[in-house]
Structure formats: structure tokens, C-alpha cells
Structure 1
Amino acid sequence: MIRIASRFLLSLSLLCAALSPCQAQDKGPLVLAAASLQESLTDAANAWATKKHPRPVISFAGSSALARQIGAGAPADIFISADEPWMDDVANKGLIRPGTRISFLANKLVLVAPANSGARIAIKPGFPLARALGNGRLAMADPDAVPAGKYGKAALTQLGVWPSVEGKVARAENVRAALTLVERGEAPFGIVYATDAMASKGVRVIGTFPANSHPPITYPIALLKSATSTDAEPFRRFLISREGKAIFARYGFTAK
């Protein structure tokens, strides 16, 4: 009986090795996510793994870079963008599963300075940011492509400040890279998400940009058509659940 059982288990193992569905069950989903989700999404992935699921693999970068990778055929299961336009870009190419897109988080935009800076400046129409910068640079994610930079440019434009600081912008590849420039003192000011500032001990918040000075900061999530992990859709549902949103709330995000 032992020999028969052993042969049965061996046959079952070989069958699972040969069939992609069995392989998919053992593989955690590959998630491409906006850089600003680094701590919160990592925590959510750890929580998911404690529920006896394979731990998701997460790649963080600027939403623009991730959307381009998906468009170029990069295999992934889930995409989480820091704005709607880059999710639109992926959707318009027919690369997301119908019915799986939902905006589930919101954020705020803040002006930060190094933690040891004594700078004070009130964010209002025409505020003297260029003068405060002096010969320094304003750290921002690329305002022509990356969501955090686009939101920042929109806010500064609405407040009538953009023309005076455009030539002083230090363009970073994503919002975390912009944050690092301020943390290191390489830029006297930076524009990042409130959650990024909350995650860093190296910066302090100078002020929060008015919500009406820029488009709403929302995070859409969707399952990609290239998804192969059978755990991808359950993990997506976990992230948008009350339990999942509570994890993000601990890191300063607002649930939608």
C-alpha cells in the first residue's frame, strides 16, 4: 500500500509539473506598482502571505515606466498606478482584464524640506518658492511623465508659481528619487506625496497643496490580461477589501 501511495504521489507531482495551472497555483502574483506604495504594499503582501498564500512579488517604479513596460509586453499579473491616465494608457491598449479596474486609494501633495531645515513658506497663490530656492533646486518626479511630478506641476501652475521655478526643477525618475534628493540635502525643497513624507525621517512637511490646485490623486488597480498566477485576482480583491484598505490607511492613504 505504501508503494502504491508513493507511486500515486509521484504521478501527481509530475502531472502538476507538466500543467501550467498547477504551476500557477504555486506562484505568487507579480505586481507592478507605483513607487509611493513601497512600504504599504509590502506590508499588504506580507499580510497576504500569512494567510497561507504564496507571497506576491512586487516591482516598484514610476507609473509611467511601468505602463510602458506593460505596453512593451512585460509579463505581470497586476498593475497599480498613481494616476488614472497611465492606467488609461494600459487599458486603451487592451491589456487589462475587463471589470477588474477600480480606484481604491487617494493621497495628498506636500512641499517638503530637509528635516534640519528651518525654512518656512506658506503655500498660496503666487507664494515665493523661487526666491526661497535661491540657487537650489526643486526636487520633483519628472513633471512631464510621472504622476507625482504632473500633479506638482499642475498645482504650481494653478497657483501661478510654475513659470518662476520651471528652470530650477531637479527631475527625478520617480517620487521616491525626488524624496531622496531632499533627504540628502541635495535639494532645499521637494514636492512629494504626503505618504512619502510620512515614511521618511529625513524630511519635514512645509505645507500641503490645496486639493483644488491639482487633479485628484487616485490609485487605480487592475488585473492584467497577461496574468498567469491563480492568486492574482484573489490578491487584488484582498487589496481593495476593508482589511486591505486598512493597511494602506496606516501609511497615510485615504481609502476610496
Structure 2
Amino acid sequence: MKKHVRIMLVAVLSFALVGAFALAGCSSQPAEEPKQEENTQAPETEPAQEPVELQIFAANSLSKAMEEVQSLYMKDHEGVTFADTQYEASGTLNEMLGAGSYADILITASKGTMDTAVDEGYVDPNTRFDMFTNELVIVTGEGSDIEKSSLADIATGEYKLAVGDDNVPAGNYAKQSLSTTDPACYIDADGKTGADSTGKGGTFEGTPIADRVTQGSSVGNVCSYANSGDVDLAMVYSSDVYRFGGVKIVGTVPADTHKNIIYPAAICAESTNSEAAQAFLDWAFSNEDAIKIWQEWGFELAA
């Protein structure tokens, strides 16, 4: 009887040990990790910048420099291009805007023409600033024997002279200076002289150069008259000598005989790209490489 009980006890203990080992084996299996849901949503990307084409209306004398500056800007600013920039006499640019032409930026060659643009609502006055300065010079053809000249020489009536017409700021400045000679070579409509004159609406009649003046519709035409020998002397900006060539400077017109030569710039009131237009102007006025280009073509940044 005792032997039978002992056999039964051994059997129970053996079964218990087998169960314990089985449980230990099960608990050693690694737990299955929960499956992660697949992300079927495409990653977010920043929207591509819309391409911008800027239309600039600029004074004639800026053409060569502006072309180089625009090319430089497009290299560093992907997505920005320029429409066919319009280079005309500043007064003509205003006439174009008044007739409904579209532009993002206006740069004129005188404060007076920008004043007109502001008064007529062509530009946003809050964006206006003075961009460049220039100087008025007396030139002659490269092959001319004339080596030196002055306002006093012009007042002798000995030389044929070319200046811009009333739509050309360089012509306005020239007439202001000619009103200061003795005797006067230009008669202001209001009897004013020098910087007090607008250089518009007056006459050469009754002066020493009454029949000796040719007026051009652009500074390019004025330079060409001197280059071809049609006239002996011409009055243009110093930057025009770099731009057109074929002429040489024989005199500098005293700055106190005319208004300060300033090129103002502004964003046009109808511009649909005002932010991009302002970014270009800011860059053109501050980038070292751009400034170097302006200076190479005879322009200095206004202080």
C-alpha cells in the first residue's frame, strides 16, 4: 500500500514539472509587435513659386546698364523674367502710361517727370525714391578739332548746337543752363533762369543761337547729330557718352546752372507684381555687382 502511494506521488510531481517547463517555454517567446498602419498620404511639399514677368519703363539713358543688371538678376532669381523693357524719353513714358500701357516699374530721368507721374496717379507715391544721379556735359564728335568748350563759348553763337526737346530731361537741363549765359541763349516762358526754370515751353528766338539749335527727340539722336558732324556741340548726360560712343566730352556744365539731375524710381499704381518689382529695385540699389554695372555706365547711386 505504501509503495502504491509513493508511485502516485512521483507521477504527480513529474506531471507538474513538465507543465512548469511548458509554461516557461511559452513565456520565453517574444511578444508579437502590433502592426503599424501604412501611411498612404503623400508628403507635404511647398508650393512652387509662380513665375513673374516684370515690365519696366525706363529713361532712354538707362538702356545699356539696365540690360546688364536684368541679366544678372535673372541668374540669381529663378522664375523672374523681364518683358521687353521700354526705353523712351521720360515724358514719352508718362504719355504711354496715360494712354493705358501697363508697367510694373517707372524710372525717369528727372524729378519733374516723376512728379507728373505721381500727380496723374501712374505710380504709387509711397514707393518713390531717388535712384541715380548724373551730370550734364558738352560733347563733340570724336573726329572734331574742338578740344574744350563751355557755356560761354556756346553763347558766342559760333557753334551749331544740339539739345533734347521738351520731352527729354537732358534737354530740359540744357535749356535751364543756357538761360544763365550772358547773353541768355534760352528764354524761359515765365522769365525764370537756371534751376528756377523748367526748361520747357521757352524759346531760342532772339538769342545768339536762335538759328543754330537742333532739338532731338532722344539723347541718342542728340549724340548722333554731334557724331555725324551735323552740329558742332551737343549737351547730354555723361552716361550717354559711355552708352553711344562716337562723341567726346569737351566740357562739363556747372551744376549750379540747372536743377539737380536725379533719376527717381517708383512702382506703378496698376502693377500686379508689386512685391516682385520692389524686390528687384531693392536689389538693384544694394547689390555690389549691380552697383558696379551702374557705375561702369556713368551712373552714381543717389545718397
Scaled by the length of structure 1, the TM-score of the pair is 0.83
Q: Does 1:139 align with 2:162?
A: yes
Residue 62 (str. 1) matches residue 85 (str. 2): no
Amino acid in structure 2 at the alignment position of 1:48: Y
Q: Which amino acid aligns with 1:231?
A: A
CA deviation profile, 1:60-81 (whole Å, cap 9, x unmatched): 0100000111122211110000
SS at match of 1:99: helix
Return the offset for 1:86: 0.7
Q: Is the 8 A contact 1:223 1:236 kept in 2?
A: no
Aligned counterparts of 1:98 and 1:110: Cα–Cα separation in 2: 31
- Structure 2: tracts of 5 or more residues without a match: 1-41, 186-206
Q: Secondary structure at the match of 1:32?
A: strand
Partner of residue 223, structure 1: 267
Q: What are the equivalent positions in structure 2 for 1:160-171 lying under 5 Å apart?
A: 160=182, 161-162=184-185, 163-171=207-215
Deviation at 1:220, TM superposition (A): 0.1
From 145, 149, 153, give the equivalent of 1:127: 153
1:250 correspondence with 2:296: yes
Matched, 1:113 2:136: no
- SS at structure 1 position matched to 2:53: coil
1:35 corresponds in structure 2 to 60
What TM-score, normalized by structure 2, do the two folds share? 0.71
Using the TM superposition, name which of 53-62 and 110-119 deviates more: 53-62
Aligned amino acid, residue 33 of structure 1: A
* Displacement of 1:109: 0.5
Distance 1:98 1:116 in 2: 45
Q: What do residues 28-84 of structure 1 show as CA deviations (whole Å, max 9, x unaligned)?
A: 211000001111111111111111342323110100000111122211110000000
Separation in 2, partners of 1:63, 1:45: 20
CA distance in 2, matches of 1:250, 1:158: 31
1:83-138 deviations in Å (ceiling 9; x for gaps): 001111110122212421000110000111110001144315x33455432xxx42
Q: Which residue does the alignment assign to 2:100?
A: 73
% of aligned pairs identical? 27
Q: Secondary structure at the match of 1:235?
A: helix
Does the aligned pair in 1 maintain the 2:155–2:181 contact within 8 Å? no
C-alpha separation in 2, matches of 1:106 and 1:150: 15
- Rounded Cα–Cα distance in structure 2 between residues aligned with 1:128 and 1:104: 31
Contact 1:139 1:178 in 2 (8 A): yes
The separation in 1 between residues aligned to 2:227 and 2:101, in whole angstroms, is 32
Give the distance between the partners of 2:219 and 2:147, measured in 1 at CA.
Answer: 22
* 1:234 matched residue in structure 2: 279
Structure 1 residues 173 and 202, CA, compared in 2 at 3 Å: closer, same or farther?
Answer: same
Structure 1 residue ranges, 4+ long, deviating more than 6 angstroms after superposition: none
- 1:148 equivalent to 2:170? Answer yes
In structure 2, C-alpha distance between the alignment counterparts of 1:233 and 1:60, rounded to whole Å: 19
Compared with structure 1, are the counterparts of its residues 88 and 117 closer, same or farther at alpha carbon in structure 2 (3 Å cutoff)? same
Deviation track 1:177-201 (CA, whole Å, cap 9, x = no partner) reads: 2112222222221111001113333
Output one character per residue of 1:152-174: Cα deviation in whole Å (capped at 9) or x when no partner. Answer: 00111112341222432211111
**Count of matched residue positions in the alignment of Structure 1 and Structure 2:** 233
Query: Is the contact between residue 220 and residue 244 of structure 2 (CA under 8 Å) also seen in structure 1?
Result: no
Equivalent residue for 2:246? 202
Change (3 A) 1:199 1:129: farther
The letter of the residue matching 2:81 is: R
Structure with bigger gyration radius: 2
Question: What amino acid sits opposite 1:172 in the alignment?
Answer: G
Amino acid at match of 2:93: L
Instruction: Return the structure number with greater relative CO, CA threshold 8 A, min gap 6.
Output: 1
The two structures, once aligned, show a CA RMSD in angstroms of 2.3
Amino acid at match of 1:226: E
Query: Separation in 2 of the partners of 1:181 and 1:55?
Result: 35
What secondary structure sits across from 2:263 in the alignment? strand
Q: 1:65, 1:183 → 2: CA distance?
A: 24
Between the aligned partners of 2:280 and 2:210, the Cα distance in structure 1 is 41
Any conservation in 1 of the 2:56–2:105 contact (CA below 8 Å)?
A: yes
Shift of 1:238: 1.6
Question: Within 2, Cα distance between the matches of 1:132 and 1:187?
Answer: 11
The corresponding residue for 1:158 is: 180
